[in-house]
Amino acid sequence: MVVTPEKVNAVAGSKILLPCSYTCTISGVTHTLVEWFRMMDGREEERIYKFPNGDEWPLHATWMGDVSKCDASITVSDIKTNDSGRYRCEVTVYPQKKHDIGYLQLNVNSPSEFAVVTPDKMDAMAGTTFLLPCSYTCTISGVTHTLVEWLRIIDGREERIYQFSEGESSHWPLHATSVGNVSKCDASINVSDIQTHDSGRYRCEVSVYPQNKQDIGYLQLIVHPRTDLAVVTTDAKDTTVGSTALLPCSYTCNITGIRHTLVEWFRTIDGHDEKVYKTTHRKSLRPLQVTWVGNDSTCDASITISNIQTHDAGRYRCEVTIYRHDKPTMEDIGYLQLNVPNEPEPRDATPTPTPTPAPAPVAGIVLGVIAALLVVAVVVGFYCWKKRQSQAREPEVPPQEMQPMNPIG
């Protein structure tokens, strides 16, 4: 059984995904043939794509499917308004020669019309919080109410996972949170702790009132297991001049068969990358005072930068490459924005008052008086010292001897 959506909307000039999947329970399949056709203005159908030949016809179509996962989707680039029409996806499997068809109505709107836009395909890592982006045309005036609904299609069934209406939100099987803003025509959501079984096809439906206009955007989400390498860093780091900043970076620890792990840190300045650290060197590669504080055994690739200055601010990235025995090399990157204000923050909230210097004339008078007093003190001291010295050198007068008295006198 072949499954396609009933309707897909696109904006002229964009690249649109035409999704098509089929039943995967047939065993012994050795060959799969996929053909896409379109019918325009009631004319005969024309083939626009064929797999596995990969031929291209009037539309610039690209294969996005995977027959091992029973996916027969294609993308069409630079879609035009006259590409609107009815499309069909035909799948045939051999040697069973089983065959089925799915039909799809494509509506291509001009950019000035109401249209919902989502990316064709996105990849996520299990266990992370992931953004499902969705935006829509903002040129419609007089909108008083906007309704946003997110649905996912799993095993051929649709289930609503989120609804936003008049500021109220509801949560269904997935833990979804609105991060959009209807005033900016943004209907995006975040999905927390996403898992591999959440892989599937999602759609974002937006309706505006009282115009009663509606459009849908489709997105194919692929959630990879945590056995793949994933590097995690903080989005931003704030520090002060003269301090030591920790740049945290960690990566997946459940990878087997590791032969060697390489960690490199870069900084982007004026559009150019500058390597600031490499684990094989174990030292800083530029004037930055970089120190390795990571640990391979705990999958920690963090570094510190000492004596931070304002010119050290910028966008840093942590690259981790894992080389394995007889297995493909794995690599991932984490980005971090380092912010350094121009001046260090004051350590004490109460600043110490600075004494105000005396005016120059007053200061001169004070110094003059002090100098005069010192001169007077020196003169008086010198006079007293001389007097004491002269008294010490003056000989004592011996007492006069007693003369005998003249008896006559």
Would the pLDDT of 45 be above 50? yes
**pLDDT bucket at 362, cuts 50 / 70 / 90:** very low
Q: What CATH superfamily classification does 231-339 receive? A: Immunoglobulins (2.60.40.10)
Instruction: List, in order, residues 6 or more apart from 161 with CB less than 8 Å away.
Output: 150, 151, 152, 172, 173, 174, 176, 191, 202
Indicate if the alpha-carbon torsion angle 231, 233, 235, 240 is positive or negative. Answer: negative
Q: If you average pLDDT over every residue of the chain, what do you get?
A: 78
Confidence label for 173 from pLDDT (cuts 50, 70 and 90)? low
Q: Using one digit for the tens of pLDDT, what is the confidence trace for 222-241?
A: 887 766 777 888 877 888 99
Question: What is the CATH number that goes with domain 1-110?
Answer: 2.60.40.10
pLDDT at 54: 66
The whole-number pLDDT of residue 367 equals 64
Per-residue confidence (pLDDT) for residue 40, from 0 to 100: 65
pLDDT, tens digit, for every residue of 286-319? 667 888 998 888 889 999 999 999 888 888 999 9
Q: Where in the chain is the domain with CATH 2.60.40.10?
A: 1-110, 112-225, 231-339
The 10s digit of each residue's pLDDT in 149-163 is 998 886 667 788 888
Q: What per-residue confidence (pLDDT) applies to 366?
A: 54
pLDDT of residue 401: 46
Nearest to 22 by CA among 94, 83, 76, 71: 71
Confidence of residue 188 (pLDDT cuts 50, 70, 90): confident
Strands 98-109 and 46-51: unpaired
How confident is the model at residue 172, as a pLDDT? 55
In CATH terms, is domain 112-225 a member of 2.40.50.200? no
Look-up: residue for tokens 């091992």?
A: 68
Cα(130)–Cα(127) distance, rounded to whole angstroms?
9
Q: Determine contact, residues 50/34, Cβ cutoff 8 Å.
A: yes
CB neighbours of 336 closer than 8 A, spacing ≥ 6? 233, 234, 235, 236, 237, 247, 248, 249, 315, 316, 317, 318
CA dihedral 360, 361, 363, 365 (to 10 degrees): 160
Segments of 270-379 assigned E as strands: 272-278, 283-284, 289-292, 303-306, 314-324, 327-339
